Amino acid sequence: MVRKNTLVFTIVLLLFAFAVCALIYPMFGRQEMRLGLDLQGGIHMVYQADLSEVEPGSESEAIDGAIAVIEQRINILGVTEPVIQKQGADRILVELPGISEAEKAKRLIGQTALLEFREQVEGEGGEMEWAPATATIDGKEKELTSSYFKENTYVTRDNLGRLLLIFEWNEEGSKLSEQITERLIGKPLGIFLSGEPLLGEDGQPIAPIVQEKITSRGQIEGLSLGEATELSELLNAGRIPVPLTPIYEQTVSPILGADFIDMSLKAGIIGIILVMLFMIAYYRLPGVLASLALIFYGALVLAIFKLIPVTLTLAGIGGFVLSIGMAVDANVLIFERMKEEFRTGRTLGAAIEAGFNRAWTAIRDSNVTTFIVCGILYWLGSILVAGAPVMGFAVTLFIGVAVSMFTAIVVTRTLLRLFVGTPLAQKTSLFSIYAGRK
Amino acid sequence: MMLDITGKRFLFFLISGVLILIGIISLVVFPLKPGIEFSSGSMLTVSFEQEVAQSELKQELVNLGYANVIIQRTGEGDFFIRTRELTGEDKAAMESALSARFGSVTEREFYSVSPMVAEETAQNAAIAVAVAAVGILLYITWAFRRMPKPFHYGICAIIALVHDVLVVLGIFSILGAILGWEINLMFITGILAVIGYSINNTVVVFDRIRENLTKGISTDFEVVVNTSLVETLSRSLNTSMTTIFVVLALLLFVGASIQNFAIVLLIGIVVGTYSSLCIAPTLLVVWQRKEWGKFIQWLPLPKAKGV
């Protein structure tokens, strides 16, 4: 048995070494802990798509199309590891970690990115108003918009150094444009973005006077470099095929996230130290061994978090810190049992074995209830729009409790067995269990 | 002389009854305040470069048309501003108005929940709590299937659980009334964690009752239960102690963002430990002896008044 114990002890040591290495060095391509948005800062948005205008049967395509366009728009920002997913049947989840330009990101996603061309008509009161410029193709009246652009707009400067946004009409667009511009020669053509006049660098609406008939290519003059570039990228990314309304939004600044990490790290360390002090004061030598097992526990759980990887959120860290307190529960159960067995007259070695064996059903049955709750929390978190923290908590608590069963039973037992054969085991003061012997 | 816990069962029932009654009255008088996750709205956390008085900030926001705005100051000197659901334009307008009035303002956190999402969240959270209770009832009945009347164990554990949840809710409603605390999703998470924790404790005690019954240490059920309680007492207290340590660490060092969760856990652990020692096992005894009626007689009530 001594030999078998040495073997187990060696395995435990190797596992510990592995966990520590996994935490310090990159392993399996994992460099760092994966942090949730609330810890590294970032945007979490959920959009509700309005599918009422979509043909029945092609809803899923419409959502996929919207996701593809959002992906392209996010690429403009150069965010690393964005998450853009369908949520349920008609929602889109957008997660942009660590982004500092939250407002710009939201504007880009929320853009309808539709340029409309309008002409001036006389309103009822005799004033001039902007109305959509239309032309008729094959008997149908159609509005002239950027939906007829080819996806190859670009920004350039002419030989006078003026900034131009160059676009090209597709087949249908050129027919419309030909009719409309022919009709409007000498008159202004208004350009509107998302229903508002497109403003130039000088703050004035851009509404050039039509000089000649335009068939294939056009240009927009007067934008600032930044605006022109953004607009051309948006136009090339295409239009989101369904109207999207934000229904949930969480934006956390990266600074706040960094604060959370510091604070929860402090809480975790202080928590672990308090638990260790208590265990040592109450159980003496077994308490010291349980504390060693707790350090092992911490390293192993964090290594698992990193390797899976578990996305750590504030709530998830809460679950981990809570699991530290609960992790020693199995040890407390075992040590109390050991004391009882010892009082009935068993030798120390026999009391240790009996303590572990008899405490097992209580450890198993009581932890199953925690697992049930973790399962329910995970389910709740997965169906809620705002459920990420709940899910994070469930995952970390589950891993924590599962690992604690292993460390409290295997690790502590192995350590205790190592001590039983040594002269240390004869020093009664090291085991508080002697105190109660009848 | 062994500590007699089961013998004082009626006293414990009285204490718990009073606690729950206070809790229910408090819940009626001060209903729990739902956070934006359950009631929809927006929450903006801002920090100002200059010193800003809370009253002035509130006045400014009321002037901007947010009559029902709720403002709280955080420990770090930031402000939580809670309003109806803000659109992107609303928020931009608010921020530029605030910076015009109070100087440079930085947005630290923004959180916005639409009514549709809020409704779903509240509904599903309630379902989750109910499913948890049923799941645990079934599990305990199954785990104690070899005992006579396994259902009793499940029901007594659930009564203790409902007791814990009611007391936590009651205390939280008082905290809400005094400190303005709202319940959010982390609160629900905390409640579910408390449910798991309290049942965990109860199962340890029940497990010992099961073992002692099998051993046949006494023919008197009450003696078996009491012995089991005393035998597991130091374990129950020690585990609660270590868990309270870590929750206190969370509360003190992480602070506001996780405050609801930590407070729920703190109260829940204390109440859950009490109920798994003094309520769930003693209920088993009362049920086994069919002495529900005795409790009413035991109560020091003037008979004429009734209840």
pLDDT at A120: 81
Q: Distance (Å, rounded) from C-alpha B202 to C-alpha B276?
A: 5
Q: Distance (Å, rounded) from C-alpha B148 to C-alpha B283?
A: 15
Question: What is the band of A346 on the pLDDT scale with cuts at 50, 70, 90?
Answer: confident
- With a CB cutoff of 8 Å and minimum separation 6, the contacts of A405 are A330, A363, A364, A367
Any domain includes A93: yes
CA distance B288 to chain A (A): 23
Among A84, A208, A246, A241, residue whose Cα is nearest residue B87 = A246
- With a CB cutoff of 8 Å and minimum separation 6, the contacts of A135 are A141, A142, A144, A175, A176, A179, A180, A183
Let me know whether A24 and A142 are in one domain.
no
Q: Which of B114, B200, B244 faces A247 most closely, judged by CB atoms? A: B114
Any domain includes B306: no
Any domain includes B307: no
Q: Domain range spanning residue B10?
A: 6-35+117-298
Q: Does B143 touch chain A (CB under 8 A)?
A: yes
Give the residue on B whose Cα is nearest the Cα of A382. B124
**What mean pLDDT is predicted for residues A325-338?**
84
Any domain includes A244: no
Q: Which residues of chain B does A389 touch, with a Cβ-Cβ cutoff of 8 Å?
A: 185-186, 189
Q: Could you give the number of structural domains in chain B?
A: 2
Q: Does B231 touch chain A (CB under 8 A)?
A: yes
Let me know whether B93 and B139 are in one domain.
no
Let me know whether B146 and B248 are in one domain.
yes
Q: Residue B129 belongs to what H/E stretch? A: helix B115-143
A143-153 pLDDT per residue, tens: 888 878 877 78
CATH number of the CATH domain containing A129 = 3.30.1360.200
Chain centroid to CA A294: 29
DSSP letter assigned to residue B7: G
Let me know whether B98 and B186 are in one domain.
no
Any domain includes A150: yes
Contact between A267 and B196 using a beta-carbon 8 Å cutoff:
no
Any domain includes A245: no
Query: Does residue A297 carry a pLDDT above 80?
Result: yes
Q: Does B124 touch chain A (CB under 8 A)?
A: yes
Q: Does B180 touch chain A (CB under 8 A)?
A: no
Q: Distance (Å, rounded) from C-alpha A399 to C-alpha A396?
A: 5
Q: Distance (Å, rounded) from C-alpha A398 to C-alpha A391?
A: 11
Question: What is the band of A62 on the pLDDT scale with cuts at 50, 70, 90?
Answer: confident
**The two structure tokens encoding residue B179:** 């400190």
Any domain includes B304: no
**Cα→Cα distances A342→A346, A350, A431, B207, B241, Å:** 5, 8, 11, 20, 24
Last residue of a domain, one of A237, A261, A282: A237
Q: Which residues of chain B does A246 touch, with a Cβ-Cβ cutoff of 8 Å?
A: 88, 112, 114
Let me know whether B179 and B96 are in one domain.
no
A175-190 pLDDT per residue, tens: 888 888 888 788 888 8
CATH number of the CATH domain containing A87 = 3.30.70.3400
CATH number of the CATH domain containing A296 = 1.20.1640.10
Contact between B239 and A389 using a beta-carbon 8 Å cutoff:
no
Q: Distance (Å, rounded) from C-alpha A16 to C-alpha A22?
A: 10
CATH number of the CATH domain containing B279 = 1.20.1640.10
Let me know whether B28 and B171 are in one domain.
yes
Q: Does B214 touch chain A (CB under 8 A)?
A: no
Let me know whether A148 and A258 are in one domain.
no
Q: Which of B189, B200, B253 faces A370 most closely, judged by CB atoms? A: B200
Q: Distance (Å, rounded) from C-alpha A400 to C-alpha A416?
A: 22
Any domain includes A410: yes
Quote the mean pLDDT of chain B: 86
Any domain includes B1: no
CA distance B115 to chain A (A): 8
Any domain includes B305: no
Which residue type, as a one-letter code, is found at position A188? P
Question: What is the band of A438 on the pLDDT scale with cuts at 50, 70, 90?
Answer: very low
Contact between A263 and B253 using a beta-carbon 8 Å cutoff:
yes
Contact between A393 and B193 using a beta-carbon 8 Å cutoff:
yes
- With a CB cutoff of 8 Å and minimum separation 6, the contacts of B193 are A322, A373, A377, A393, A397, B264, B265, B268
Let me know whether A74 and A171 are in one domain.
no
Let me know whether B68 and B194 are in one domain.
no
Give the residue on B whose Cα is nearest the Cα of A43. B110
pLDDT at B18: 92
Let me know whether B207 and B253 are in one domain.
yes
A225-247 pLDDT per residue, tens: 877 887 777 777 777 778 888 88
Q: Distance (Å, rounded) from C-alpha A28 to C-alpha A25?
A: 10
Let me know whether B200 and B293 are in one domain.
yes
Any domain includes A109: no
**The two structure tokens encoding residue B261:** 């969760």
Let me know whether A77 and A179 are in one domain.
no
Q: How many A/B residue pairs have CB atoms within 8 Å?
A: 217
**What mean pLDDT is predicted for residues A86-100?**
83
Last residue of a domain, one of B92, B113, B134: B113
Q: Which residues of chain B does A397 touch, with a Cβ-Cβ cutoff of 8 Å?
A: 193
Contact between B196 and A374 using a beta-carbon 8 Å cutoff:
yes
Query: Does residue B208 carry a pLDDT above 80?
Result: yes
Query: Does residue B304 carry a pLDDT above 60?
Result: no
Let me know whether A219 and A271 are in one domain.
no
Contact between B112 and A379 using a beta-carbon 8 Å cutoff:
no
Let me know whether B46 and B137 are in one domain.
no
Let me know whether A366 and A226 are in one domain.
no
Q: Domain range spanning residue A84?
A: 42-99
Among A383, A338, A343, residue whose Cα is nearest residue A359 = A338
A190-221 pLDDT per residue, tens: 888 777 788 777 777 887 888 778 888 888 87
Let me know whether A289 and A415 are in one domain.
yes
In contact, A213 and A181? CB cutoff 8 Å: yes
Last residue of a domain, one of B59, B83, B113: B113
Let me know whether B165 and B22 are in one domain.
yes
CA-CA-CA-CA torsion for B276, B274, A277, B207, nearest 10 degrees? -10
Last residue of a domain, one of B72, B96, B113: B113
**The two structure tokens encoding residue B197:** 């924790």
Q: Could you give the number of structural domains in chain A?
A: 3
Contact between B120 and A384 using a beta-carbon 8 Å cutoff:
yes
Any domain includes A106: no
Q: Which residues of chain B does A328 touch, with a Cβ-Cβ cutoff of 8 Å?
A: 239, 242
pLDDT at B305: 43
pLDDT at A356: 86
B72-106 pLDDT per residue, tens: 887 677 888 888 888 877 888 888 888 888 888 88
Let me know whether B101 and B127 are in one domain.
no
Any domain includes B247: yes
Let me know whether A49 and A82 are in one domain.
yes
CA distance B294 to chain A (A): 32
Q: Distance (Å, rounded) from C-alpha A268 to C-alpha A395?
A: 17
**The two structure tokens encoding residue A242:** 């369904």
Contact between A326 and B197 using a beta-carbon 8 Å cutoff:
yes
Let me know whether A331 and A430 are in one domain.
yes
CATH number of the CATH domain containing B69 = 3.30.70.260
Any domain includes B276: yes
**The two structure tokens encoding residue A149:** 């652009």
Question: What is the band of B16 on the pLDDT scale with cuts at 50, 70, 90?
Answer: very high
Query: Does residue B273 carry a pLDDT above 90?
Result: yes
B33-48 pLDDT per residue, tens: 888 888 888 988 888 8
Contact between B186 and A389 using a beta-carbon 8 Å cutoff:
yes
Q: Which of B37, B106, B124 faces A380 most closely, judged by CB atoms? A: B124
Any domain includes B303: no
Q: Distance (Å, rounded) from C-alpha B64 to C-alpha B69?
A: 10
**What mean pLDDT is predicted for residues B27-31?**
90
How many Cα atoms are found within 13 Å in the side-chain-facing hemisphere of B80?
A: 18
**What mean pLDDT is predicted for residues A103-120?**
77
Let me know whether A148 and A75 are in one domain.
no
Higher pLDDT, B61 or A79: B61
Let me know whether A328 and A423 are in one domain.
yes
pLDDT at B306: 42
In contact, A337 and A409? CB cutoff 8 Å: no
Let me know whether B74 and B203 are in one domain.
no
Query: Does residue B303 carry a pLDDT above 60?
Result: no
Any domain includes A405: yes
Let me know whether A315 and A424 are in one domain.
yes
If you write DSSP's letter for every residue of A6-44 in order, what string do you get?
HHHHHHHHHHHHHHHHHHHS-BTTB-SPPBPHHHH-EEE
